[in-house]
Amino acid sequence: MQTNTGRLTKDGIRIHEATDFAGMRTAGALAAQILDDIAEHVFPGQTTGEIDRLITQWVQDAGATSATIGYRGYQHASCISVNHVVCHGIPGDKILKDGDILNIDVTVIVDGWFGDTSRMYVAGTLSRKSERLIEVTHDALMKGIEAAKPGNTFGDIGHAIQLYAESNRMSVVRDFCGHGLGRVFHAPPNVLHYGRPGTGPILEEGMFFTIEPMINIGRPETKVLADDWTAVTRDKSLSAQFEHSIGITADGCEIFTLSPGNKFHPTYQI
């Protein structure tokens, strides 16, 4: 049986070894490939349940395992969060209509390694307002990734994201965060998408974690619906999210969940 190697920092963050990057690369590539392939199945009239059914099938076809099926009672291979749903939208009978924007979030396990990524899609025509939200959210994630290098802190990442989103008059969701991952789904630290420069744990080579900012057009507050999963904006404003799994290298970071077809950036669909 394969177990964790490497050491833990005083904050409980695992420092992975050079060989562990290969495992994350494979898992991340599968999750990203699935998100590439699902793009053509997002259109008005489609149900979120059918999208999830395809993803479930593709994870199985790849000989991989869905990290979310059975996770705390969750029963699907993806989370699909439409319009004012911030995250953890449950796939089902909901029919997509023209102009809907949605985040699809997939986490797979390959050889024990977790690959976790999400991005935004549009059903049909994209409004200018939605386009701007999606663009700002994507770029906010990339600002966070630019700050992800040895010697910087987790606060530097959060600050970069917050500064960018708020400079564009949008708000950062505080109620959900990114997370360490590797041979586990959710590990320390909590990766906040807001913060002050120089605060929080110092980034070290070998740390693996996600950055997954949720940005709202309106206010940042959220609430969880009676299904105990679906998180929505309290003011019903539109919300967007992008997520990458990354590993800190000697001089920056490696993105494990890069899109093989270069379809991660929203302009691919615009």
Interface region with Co ion, contact rule CB under 5 A, candidates 69-77, 99-107, 119-127, 247-255: 99-107
User: What whole-number distance in Å separates Cα of residue 76 and Cα of residue 215?
Assistant: 24
CB of 88 to ligand MF3, least distance (A): 5
Minimum CB distance to ligand MF3 smaller for 25 or for 179? 179
CB of 241 to ligand MF3, least distance (A): 9
CB of 115 to Co ion, least distance (A): 10
* Contact pick of 20, 52, 100, 105 for Co ion (by CB under 5 A): 105
Determine, following the binding rule CB under 5 A, whether residue 20 of this chain makes contact with Co ion. no
H helix and E strand count, the chain:
4, 17
Interface region with Co ion, contact rule CB under 5 A, candidates 50-58, 150-158, 202-210, 229-237: 202-210
Residue indicated by tokens 């110092």: 202
CB of 104 to ligand MF3, least distance (A): 10
Listed residue (82, 93, 84, 88) closest to 120, CA to CA: 82
Which residues fall within 8 angstroms of residue 129, CB to CB, at 6 or more apart? Answer: 217, 238
Determine, following the binding rule CB under 5 A, whether residue 210 of this chain makes contact with Co ion. yes
Which residues are paired to 101 by β-bridges? 122
**Residue 268 Ramachandran class (φ > 0 left, ψ -120 to 50 alpha, else beta):** alpha
Indicate which of Co ion, ligand MF3, none lies near residue 74 (CB less than 5 to 8 Å, by partner kind). ligand MF3
CB of 12 to ligand MF3, least distance (A): 18
User: What whole-number distance in Å separates Cα of residue 19 and Cα of residue 8?
Assistant: 17
Minimum CB distance to Co ion smaller for 125 or for 174? 174
User: What whole-number distance in Å separates Cα of residue 202 and Cα of residue 126?
Assistant: 39
Residues that bind ligand MF3 (CB under 6 A): 68, 71-72, 74, 79, 88, 105, 107, 116, 210, 212, 229, 243
Listed residue (55, 45, 8, 18) closest to 184, CA to CA: 8
Name the DSSP letter for residue 269.
T
Minimum CB distance to ligand MF3 smaller for 67 or for 126? 67
CB of 224 to ligand MF3, least distance (A): 11
Determine the 3-state secondary structure of 140 from DSSP.
helix
Indicate which of Co ion, ligand MF3, none lies near residue 68 (CB less than 5 to 8 Å, by partner kind). ligand MF3
User: What whole-number distance in Å separates Cα of residue 162 and Cα of residue 168?
Assistant: 10
Minimum CB distance to ligand MF3 smaller for 20 or for 105? 105
Listed residue (70, 106, 125, 105) closest to 270, CA to CA: 125
Indicate which of ligand MF3, Co ion, none lies near residue 88 (CB less than 5 to 8 Å, by partner kind). ligand MF3
Determine, following the binding rule CB under 5 A, whether residue 52 of this chain makes contact with Co ion. no
How many CB atoms within 10 Å of residue 49?
15
Minimum CB distance to Co ion smaller for 102 or for 168? 102
Name the DSSP letter for residue 158.
H
Where does this chain bind Co ion (CB under 5 A)?
A: 105, 116, 118, 210, 243
